[in-house]
Structure 1
Amino acid sequence: MFKAVIFDMDGVIIDSEPVHLKLEYEIYDELGIDVTREEHSTFVGTTSHYMWDTLKKKYKLSQDLDYLVNHAREKYFNHLTSEECEVALVEGVRDFIRKLHERGTKLAIASSSPLNVIEAVVKIFKLEEYFEVLVTGDMVRKSKPEPDIFIYAAEKLGVSPNECIVVEDSHNGVRAAKKAGMKCIGYKNISSGNQDISMADLVVEAFSEVDADRLFK
């Protein structure tokens, strides 16, 4: 019996990947590195520490890892909280979240984004009443595609992994959910790039395709 749904945030709750792409390529230009779109897409769903550690080693960047991570995070947070913010809710996701909440489902966000970004998104889009747990990749040892973040979210919710459904849009996120022993809904967001989410238990192109009541039968 499923008791909880754990949502990824970027690309699932908010359509933020195009903004991430734009801002991160501005940083790549600053650093003078040529990162292909294909390579960039492999980092979707991972933590900024994982991404910048990988890029620092590959491109032999002289900048300190903490500087790279903090610079990228500050750049995105400043955009997110500005009047010029281009990030919007994914179509249909609010109704889906509301229906789950109304039926008494425990809800969590488990995102590789830092906590201040998760909290800002929840506040900006008025989602505070729905989520009882907010988990960031900074709280666990290993980034997606390892299962740490989802196992930790389940612990915080007080449920077993086999009582959870994860909603993800990235290859790394779906892999993490399955490694955690959880069922997974793969949301095919074209803004997230060509992500292989075929290993999800259910793949949808719109949240209107998901019947919240039937999930728990």
Structure 2
Amino acid sequence: MKAIIFDMDGVIIDSEPLHCKLEREILKELGGKITEEEHNAFIGTTDYHMWSILKEKFNIKKPVDEIIQMKKERFIKNIHMLNLVDNVEEFIEKLHKKGYPMGLASSNNRKIVNLIVNKFKLDKYFNVIISGEDVSKGKPHPEIFLKTAEKMGVEPHNCLVIEDAKNGVIAAKAAGMKCIGFKNPNSGEQDLSQADLIISSYDELDLNTLKGLFN
């Protein structure tokens, strides 16, 4: 293990409930409605991917870029409501003290990623920060993880990814990386079965456990 890559939403910040609330409100305003199960299938993907599919499904007239902007503005207005996932900063601090390079690979847009990083003062931990706007293909495609590893100068097979969503786990494994599935109850019923290890709390992790995944 030479580097650790974190997803952001649902892994570092407990933001999925806010995302889902705003997306459902906007979809309702635009004349559409989806079940919780259908919504959960989009967790971990980019806004562009999700809204492109919903636009076609419900014959929405508003351009995708405008819908994404609506969501972005509402999310930013509510950013004060967000908190870090329990014990995640202590875990990141441990890795940082041991000198492990860390990357952030979020499907969220660059503006929100930067706002979250600044709000919680996370920039001191991450060597590389990649957003959904920095790639052409969203998760479950592995591009975001491969790009993060490349920017960090680490071979994919030496990277460990921490993800809370099925799409993210699939992307990490497709990138040839080890993956820990973080079972966040606020991220919906996610199938994390392809992960090398599934946890429900960062208290379950120590360096020996992480290194053991590479043996």
Provide the TM-score with structure 1 as the length reference.
0.95
Question: SS of the counterpart of 1:96?
Answer: helix
Aligned AA for 1:123? N
Whole-Å separation in 1 of the counterparts to 2:113 and 2:158: 24
Structure 2 match to 1:51? 50
Structure 2 match to 1:162? 157
Whole-Å separation in 1 of the counterparts to 2:154 and 2:211: 15
Indicate yes or no: 2:178 matched with 1:179.
no
Aligned AA for 1:29? K
Structure 2 match to 1:199? 194
Structure 2 match to 1:73? 72
Structure 1 match to 2:32? 33
Whole-Å separation in 1 of the counterparts to 2:174 and 2:43: 17
Q: After superposition, what is the alpha-carbon deviation per residue over 1:26-51, rounded to whole angstroms, capped at 9, x for unaligned? A: 11221121111111111100000000
Whole-Å separation in 1 of the counterparts to 2:32 and 2:65: 18
The runs of 5 or more residues in structure 1 that have no matched partner are none
Runs of 4+ aligned residues of structure 1 deviating over 4 Å after TM superposition are none
Aligned AA for 2:124? E
Question: SS of the counterpart of 1:23?
Answer: helix
Structure 1 match to 2:8? 9
Structure 1 match to 2:105? 110
- How far residue 212 of structure 1 moved from its aligned partner, in angstroms, is 2.3
Question: SS of the counterpart of 2:195?
Answer: coil
Aligned AA for 1:188? K
Question: SS of the counterpart of 1:134?
Answer: strand
Identical-pair percentage? 48
Whole-Å separation in 1 of the counterparts to 2:39 and 2:162: 22
Question: SS of the counterpart of 1:70?
Answer: helix
Aligned AA for 2:133? D
Structure 2 match to 1:125? 120
Whole-Å separation in 2 of the counterparts to 1:98 and 1:116: 24
- How far residue 214 of structure 1 moved from its aligned partner, in angstroms, is 3.8
- How far residue 213 of structure 1 moved from its aligned partner, in angstroms, is 4.0
Whole-Å separation in 2 of the counterparts to 1:216 and 1:188: 20
Whole-Å separation in 1 of the counterparts to 2:36 and 2:211: 38
For the 8 Å contact 2:45–2:140, the answer to whether it is kept is yes
Whole-Å separation in 2 of the counterparts to 1:95 and 1:75: 30
Q: 1:94 aligns with which of 89, 97, 105?
A: 89
Aligned AA for 1:104? G
The runs of 5 or more residues in structure 2 that have no matched partner are none
Aligned AA for 1:115? R
What CA RMSD, in Å, does the superposition of the two structures yield over aligned residues? Answer: 1.0
For the 8 Å contact 2:12–2:88, the answer to whether it is kept is yes
